């Protein structure tokens, strides 16, 4: 959106929850995901004489109280902030427009960002920063009508790939579209179109859900690596299990449309069980497993929102069960809060770019 002076552009991109079918998005599968209104990243673009990427005062810290302060911060936060993400999407956006013969107007800008998405919780904090920046570029260069909605998640993913981040399209689709989205990444779509087939769904069909997370880091790149190699090598167990995970999203779509929430419980739990059988407890981590089991002990359905660090939980028995759930998580040292749903983020120009396939 534009600021009061008509020059400043600011966009938000929200965290996302993989509800069903993940991680099959990187295995020609299907997923259902939604954008999470609880957390977001925002990027601000202001025209300027030179092109400037502004380091975040917290996330791109380069001044420390002492050597031990710096080392402790690196252990907790890692080496990377958001500056590299903004630089990467600048490059990817520029090269895409050049290759597609999309002319970009002259003029520079200053980019700054902020985020409240908890780090290493599997809520797609990195891609949210990239997604918000891309939205700013679409408006600054007035090319929203020229870069189709379906292509935008690929640009975001390509920017992250520039930095060696291992990920799939699911998260970026949810963040570009907003709301609730069913995604089919079947091989025929991926090879013919270069992206999946994405179907927005009515967010109001979802029952009340809860977000649970811990302060434990989880590197999803390492979590994915061994299973992906086994899949590439033709491991029958991994291939059949991943196919079943993909089918969970297909069944889940039908269950949600019918508001069959009993079926949703079964599918959410099965989704996690399949992930656990493929990846193993060592890869998932004891704290992540505990996060799931706390919910199950009170009869709630639970699964990871991504690759670990946070869970999405559903209480089929209503408010009394929610009270038990909240008490159990607080005693176990986890944070729990109601999921805030947000509707689709697409505007009229975006929708026209979808319909003009």
Q: Which two tokens stand for residue 17?
A: 């929850």
pLDDT digits (tens, 9 = 90+) for 212-270: 998 654 444 455 568 989 999 999 999 999 999 999 999 999 999 999 999 999 999 99
Lowest mean pLDDT among 40-44, 124-128, 206-210, 290-294: 124-128
Indicate the helix (H) or strand (E) that contains 257.
helix 236-257
Q: What DSSP line would sit under 111-142, residue for residue?
A: EEEEE-PPTTSSS-HHHHHHHHHHHHHHHHTT
- Tell me how long the chain is: 357
The answer to whether residue 356 scores a pLDDT higher than 60 is no
Q: Which of 25, 171, 184, 350 is catalytic?
A: 171
- Is the CATH number 3.30.70.890 carried by domain 209-338? yes
Question: Are 92 and 158 contacting, i.e. CB atoms less than 8 angstroms apart?
Answer: yes
The whole-angstrom separation of Cα 40 and Cα 59 is: 15
Cα atoms in the Cβ-side hemisphere of radius 13 Å centred on 322:
13
Q: Are 310 and 123 in contact (CB under 8 A)?
A: yes
Task: Provide the whole-model pTM.
Answer: 0.90
Q: Which of 7-21, 107-121, 257-271, 297-311 has the lowest mean pLDDT?
A: 107-121
144, 107 Cβ separation under 8 angstroms: no
> What residue segments make up the domains of the chain, in order of their start?
9-204+342-355, 209-338
Residue 171 appears among annotated catalytic residues: yes
Helices and strands: H and E segment counts in the chain: 13, 10
Mean pLDDT value of segment 104-124:
89
DSSP state letters, 177-243: HBSEEEEE--HHHHHHHSS-EEEEE-GGGSPP-EEEE-S----HHHHHHHHHHHHHTT-HHHHHHHH
Mind listing the pLDDT tens digit for each residue in 281-322? Answer: 888 888 899 999 999 999 999 999 988 889 999 999 999 999
Strands (E), the chain: 9-20, 30-48, 52-53, 108-115, 180-184, 197-201, 210-213, 301-304, 310-314, 335-338
What percent of the chain is modeled with pLDDT above 90?
Answer: 74
Q: What are the φ and ψ backbone dihedral angles of 317, each rounded to 5 degrees?
A: -95, 5
Residue 95: the pLDDT is 97
The yes/no answer on whether domain 9-204+342-355 falls in CATH 3.30.230.10 is yes
pLDDT of res. 357: 47
Each residue's pLDDT tens digit, 71-86: 887 777 776 778 999 9
Topology agreement, domain 9-204+342-355 and domain 209-338: no
pLDDT beyond 80 at 148: yes
Find all residues with CB under 8 Å of 48, minimum gap 6, and list them.
108, 109, 110
């Amino acid at each position: 959106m534009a600021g009061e002076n008509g020059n400043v552009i600011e966009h938000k991109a929200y965290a996302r929850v993989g509800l069903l079918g993940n991680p099959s998005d990187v295995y020609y599968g299907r997923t259902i995901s939604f954008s999470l209104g609880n957390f977001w990243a925002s990027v601000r673009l202001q025209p300027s004489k030179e092109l400037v990427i502004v380091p975040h005062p917290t996330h791109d810290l380069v001044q420390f109280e002492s050597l031990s302060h710096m080392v402790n911060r690196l252990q907790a936060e890692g080496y990377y902030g958001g500056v590299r993400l903004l630089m990467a999407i600048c490059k990817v956006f520029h090269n895409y427009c050049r290759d597609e013969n999309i002319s970009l107007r002259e003029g520079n800008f200053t980019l700054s960002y902020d985020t409240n998405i908890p780090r290493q919780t599997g809520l797609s904090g990195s891609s949210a920063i990239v997604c918000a920046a891309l939205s700013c570029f679409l408006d600054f260069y007035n090319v929203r009508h020229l870069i189709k909605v379906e292509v935008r998640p690929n640009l975001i993913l390509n920017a992250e790939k520039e930095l060696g981040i291992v990920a799939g399209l699911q998260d970026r689709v949810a963040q570009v579209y907003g709301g609730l989205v069913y995604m089919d990444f079947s091989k025929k779509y991926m090879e013919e179109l270069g992206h999946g087939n994405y179907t927005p769904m009515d967010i109001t069909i979802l029952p009340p859900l809860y977000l649970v997370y811990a302060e434990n880091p989880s590197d999803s790149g390492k979590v994915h690596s061994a299973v992906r190699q086994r899949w590439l090598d033709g491991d029958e167990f991994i291939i059949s299990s991943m196919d079943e995970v993909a089918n969970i999203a297909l069944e889940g779509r039908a269950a949600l449309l019918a508001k069959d929430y009993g079926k949703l419980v079964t599918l959410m739990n099965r989704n996690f069980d399949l992930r656990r059988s493929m990846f193993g407890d060592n890869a998932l981590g004891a704290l992540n497993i505990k996060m799931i089991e706390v919910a199950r002990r009170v009869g709630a359905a639970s699964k990871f929102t991504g690759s670990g660090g946070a869970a999405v939980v559903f209480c089929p028995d209503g408010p009394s069960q929610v009270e038990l759930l909240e008490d159990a998580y607080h005693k176990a040292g986890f944070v729990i809060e109601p999921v805030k749903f947000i509707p689709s983020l697409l505007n009229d120009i975006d929708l026209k770019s979808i319909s003009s396939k």
